Amino acid sequence: MRIIILGSGQGSNCKAVLEAASSNLLHSAEIVAVCSDVETSGILEIARNASVPSLFLGPYNFNNKKADETWIKEVKKLNPDLIVLAGFMKVLSHNFIESFGGKIINLHPSLLPSFRGLNAIKQAWDAGVKITGCTVHWVSPVLDSGEIIAQSPVRIMTGDTIESVSAKVHAAEHMLLPTVIAQLVMHLS
Ligand code: GAR
């Protein structure tokens, strides 16, 4: 099962997935490439350090037809069975999503359907909820609204700060994402 990871940021979730793969926790999965829209992103460095092909595919914007077509072409060349969005911070075009219909999952730092979009941890913090968390869901054309695969809750305690909540959400993500990928690999292969 060929998996590619797309991300824009520091790549801590990509690192968790690569570590799970190298510990044989992802069964028959092979992480065939890590792709980013940010040339200097930590996620590409993490891939390089793990000797996984790291590809900067250029800036991405769903409104930019040329960039969208380039991304679709390059990702198709990798022939993925599963595309994992791990901190990919751009909205994908409908064309992109349809080109890889049903094969894209996204990690989101809230308990969807609450707090869609950017800065989800801050949205939850500002709303004063006592339980937040993270979600892995299938990507559909409506942002952060595809079918939920799995969620992990995080309790917000007295004395927490937005920084401590962020750290707890990220720790939960680092367990959830590799677990979901392992389950999907078992199910789909
Ligand atoms: C993660 O918290 C992920 O849930 C979030 O970006 C972070 C990436 O961290 N994604 C989104 O907000 C997508 N809407 P990482 O680069 O350390 O894995």
* Rounded CA separation 139/94 (Å): 10
Q: What is the domain class of 2-188 according to CATH?
A: alpha beta
Query: Which atom of ligand 1 lies at the shortest distance from residue 41's CA?
Result: 16
Contact indicator for 93, 62 with CB cutoff of 8 Å: yes
Catalytic residues: 108
Per-residue pLDDT of the chain (189 residues; tens, 9 = 90+): 999 999 999 999 999 999 999 999 999 899 999 999 999 999 999 999 999 999 999 999 999 999 999 999 999 999 999 999 999 999 999 999 999 989 999 999 999 999 999 999 999 999 999 999 999 999 999 999 999 999 999 999 999 999 999 999 999 999 999 999 999 999 987
* Rounded CA separation 135/144 (Å): 10
Q: How far is the CA of 88 from the centre of ligand 1 (A)?
A: 7
* Rounded CA separation 31/33 (Å): 6
Mutate to test the pocket of ligand 1, among 15, 89, 112 (most ligand atoms within 8 A of CB): 89
Residues with CB under 6 A from ligand 1: 7, 9-14, 43, 86-87, 107-109, 120, 170, 173
Domain ranges of the chain: 2-188
| Sheet with 148-155, side-by-side order of all strands | 54-56, 30-36, 2-7, 82-85, 104-108, 131-138, 148-155
- 151: helix, coil or strand? strand
pLDDT at 101: 84
Q: How far is the CA of 62 from the centre of ligand 1 (A)?
A: 19
Could you tell me which of 84, 91, 92 has the C-alpha nearest to residue 18? 84
Whether residue 113 has a cis bond before it, omega within 30° of 0: yes
For the full predicted model, state whether its pTM sits above 0.85: yes
